[in-house]
Structures are given as C-alpha cells and as structure tokens.
C-alpha cells in the first residue's frame, strides 16, 4: 500500500544524511530563459529529473514525457499538487528539483506545505522575514522529524526567493479530536482555535471515502496476509478517522485558496502533501476545485518502484496528470 498519514502522523523513518547533500544541491539548478515563451527550459548543464534517474509519465496519454514538457504544462497552472511518499528519499529529491525548476518559470510562487500546521504560520513568517533564527523557528514550529533532510531544502529555496510559505494543515491535536469525537469537536473550540480549521467541512460518501476505507483496512491489518475476523478497524472508528481526514483536506484546500487569492494574479501555488490527499484529483484537490472551479489545477504523484525504466504506466491511470517514478529505497 502506498503510504499515507490520515491523522497527520510524523514519518517514523529518518533518511540517510547523504540525502541532505543531494537535496541541497538540487536547489542550485542552473537554467536559462526561453525568449518570449514564458517557459524555462532545462539546459544540458542542469540536473533535470530524467538526467537524475527519474522517469516522468503522462498516464492519460500512456506515454513518457520530458521534464520540459511537464514544465510547459505547469507554467499554465494556478495550483500544482505534488503528492509524495513521506519516507522515500528519492521522492524528496524530485520535489526539490521540481520546485526549483518551477521557480525559474518567471511567475510568483507560493509554497504550501502539509508538513506545517496553521497555528505556526506566524512563526514561519518570522523566520522567512529574518526576525528569528533557524533554531528558534525549529523550536517553535513543530517540524516533522525528517525536516532537515527532506523539507528544509524547500523552505530554504522559498526563503532565498522571498516566496511566501503556507503552513496549510490543521493542527494535529484538533485532527485527533475529530477522529475521536467527530465534527462536533469543532463546536467546542474558542474563536481563535476555530480559525485553525477550515470554515466549511464536507465529508461526502464518494470514491474518496471508498478509497480511504480500503486504505484504513489495509493499514490496520498490515501486510502479513489475509485479514482475520476482528483485525480491521471497527467501521464507526474508521468513519471518524475519515472525518478527520476531511478536515485536513478542507483546511489545506482553504489555506491554498486564501493564499492565492491574496497574492498577485499570476501567482502559482505549489503544494506538497502525502499523495493520498491529492491522487485521483480527490481529497484536497477536489476541495480546492469546489472553492475555485475555474482554476487550472495540475496533480503530480511520486511512485517509488524497483526500476523506473520499466515500470508500467497503465496502473497509474487517473492517479495524476503526471507520475514521477522514483527508484525505491531498499
């Protein structure tokens, strides 16, 4: 099963420190502008995704595409979702490469992250503005355990370019409360606490719900073979977890929409989340589209595989506009 964290749990595995060097190098990509095109080509001297061992495919077309072709499409978007596998180091390297390339398109960029929660937005703003140092920022912002390895390159790239960074997610204690008590937990909040979750929260019984329930069953039974009676989560508990998942999706979607509405008209939001939140244009993607139906939204999903060069495209149909095959870590 592809990893997802329905209640915003931290990844449990810290990645080898070699990934730090790789990710930091990724944000140093060099590229040159294409005259009049509005697209920044990946030059031969730049470590494009293909040159770095990744394979990009368009599932809808059933074919491979180049990084430049993907960038041509991203250059026209309002919001780009990059769905990640939280503990896959190659996914994070691909994220740094992609964000840096997007930053060279010549448009204002807004970086949005599931990995920070709304209540730490002032702390994040202070760090980006240079009002506090990094040690204070990390002490007060509850970064994920693998922040230094996997997410710091994204934040530092934004900081260097003076891009806003959105702490998009609902605070974990609130998501957990919804997981225990249902949406009624939102009614017990003070006015200031209520601002840390989306104003409007809908939890339809749809394809996303079905996919979530299937994933919860697989998550609770593990990978040790067929489930035994009583192994899966009780339905009522799984349904409450779905409510918490919806609140996370709604809050991230509202955060994305509010940030773009407040920015320059041509600003491009690039949002990073666990792939479950954005695959199949469901979850957070669907909730952005509900708020802004006319926006052009592009979904990228990273899929770790044993050998990217031979991974079949057909199983990824519908997952995203683009799928990036990464080499699975052993």
Q: What is the pLDDT of residues 105-158, one digit of tens each?
A: 999 999 999 999 999 999 999 999 999 999 999 999 999 999 999 999 999 999
183 lies in a domain?
yes
What does pTM read for this prediction?
Answer: 0.84
Domain of 232 in residue numbering reads as: 18-327
- Comparing CA positions, the residue from 157, 9, 183 lying closest to residue 92 is 157
**pLDDT class for 15, splitting at 50, 70, 90?**
very low
Position 7 pLDDT exceeds 70: no
283 lies in a domain?
yes
13 lies in a domain?
no
Quote the CA–CA distance of 74 and 270 in Å, as a whole number. Answer: 10
Q: What number of residues does the chain have?
A: 330
Encode pLDDT of 172-215 as tens digits: 999 999 999 999 999 999 999 999 999 999 999 999 999 999 98
- Contact in structure between 253 and 282 (CB atoms under 8 Å): no
Token pair in block for residue 128 = 């980006």
Q: How far is CA 238 from the centre of its chain?
A: 23
6 lies in a domain?
no
CATH number for position 91: 3.40.50.11550
What would the 3-class secondary structure string for 265-304 be? CCCEEEEEEEHHHCHHHCCHHHHHHHHCCCCCEEEEEEEE
SS3 81: strand
10 lies in a domain?
no
Split into its structural domains, the chain has a count of 1
- Contact in structure between 117 and 255 (CB atoms under 8 Å): no
């Amino acid at each position: 099963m592809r990893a997802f964290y329905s209640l915003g749990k931290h990844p449990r595995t810290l990645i080898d420190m070699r990934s730090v060097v790789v990710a930091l190098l990724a944000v140093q990509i060099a590229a040159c502008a294409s005259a009049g095109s509005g697209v920044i080509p990946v030059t031969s001297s730049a470590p494009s995704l293909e040159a770095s061992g990744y394979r990009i495919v368009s599932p809808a077309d059933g074919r491979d595409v180049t990084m430049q072709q993907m960038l041509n499409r991203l250059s026209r978007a309002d919001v780009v979702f990059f769905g990640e596998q939280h503990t896959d180091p190659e996914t994070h390297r691909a994220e740094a490469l992609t964000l840096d390339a997007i930053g060279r398109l010549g448009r204002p960029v807004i970086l949005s992250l599931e990995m920070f929660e709304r209540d730490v937005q002032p702390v994040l703003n202070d760090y980006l503005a240079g009002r506090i140092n990094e040690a204070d920022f990390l002490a007060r912002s509850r970064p994920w355990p693998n922040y230094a390895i996997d997410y710091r390159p994204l934040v530092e790239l934004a900081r260097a370019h003076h891009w806003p960074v959105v702490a998009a997610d609902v605070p974990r204690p609130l998501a957990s409360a919804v997981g225990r008590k249902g949406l009624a937990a939102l009614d017990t909040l003070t006015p200031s606490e209520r601002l840390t979750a989306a104003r409007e929260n809908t939890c339809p019984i749809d394809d996303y719900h079905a996919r979530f329930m299937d994933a919860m069953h697989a998550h609770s039974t593990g990978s040790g073979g067929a489930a035994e009676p009583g192994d899966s989560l009780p339905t009522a508990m799984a349904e409450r977890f779905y409510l918490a998942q919806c609140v996370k999706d709604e809050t991230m979607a509202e955060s994305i929409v509010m940030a773009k509405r407040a920015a320059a008209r041509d600003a491009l939001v690039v949002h990073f989340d666990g792939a479950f939140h954005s695959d199949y244009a469901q979850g957070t993607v669907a909730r952005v589209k509900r708020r802004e139906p006319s926006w052009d939204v592009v979904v990228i999903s990273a899929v770790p595989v044993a050998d990217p060069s031979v991974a079949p495209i057909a199983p990824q149909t519908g997952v995203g506009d683009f799928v990036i095959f990464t080499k699975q870590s052993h």
